Amino acid sequence: MVATLRKATFAPLVNQRFLIRPNEASAIPVILSSITTQQVNDQYESFTLNFDLIEDSAALPDDSYLMENEQLGQAVIFISPTHAGTPDPRKYYYEAVFNVYIGADGK
């Protein structure tokens, strides 16, 4: 498992496939479609990962899920389904919001 998840961890993984594992027997394939940044201050790195569904499936509830990626490996990430900004209210994507303390010197 990955110890510290930073924006730089995910930047090279945009447009790559991830698997969301709601349980041991199932996997939902998604694509990391984009990363947005909201810089709060120099001590925190704030960013959002946006995951698009590859196949139609029922929305998972807000929760922490094991996610897998060939390069990243495994990480438990809290995701939420949303359709904010989509023209079709039946379509949704998942987002994961991060606020990572990077220290007083910003590193």
Residue 89 scores a pLDDT above 90: no
Residue 65 within a domain: yes
User: What is the SS3 assignment for 12?
Assistant: helix
pLDDT band at 104 (very low <50, low <70, confident <90, very high): confident
pLDDT recorded at residue 2: 62
Residue 53 within a domain: yes
pLDDT recorded at residue 81: 93
User: CB neighbours (10 Å) of residue 45?
Assistant: 20
Provide the domain limits for residue 87.
7-101
Residue 29 within a domain: yes
Residue 2 within a domain: no
Q: Kindly tell me the burial class for residue 41, based on how many C-beta atoms sit within 10 Å of its own C-beta (0-12, 13-18, 19 or more).
A: exposed
pLDDT digits (tens, 9 = 90+) for 8-61: 899 999 999 999 999 989 999 999 999 999 877 888 899 999 999 988 888 899
Residue 107 within a domain: no
Distance of alpha carbon 107 from alpha carbon 97, whole angstroms: 19
Distance of alpha carbon 48 from alpha carbon 60, whole angstroms: 18
Q: In the chain, how many domains are there?
A: 1
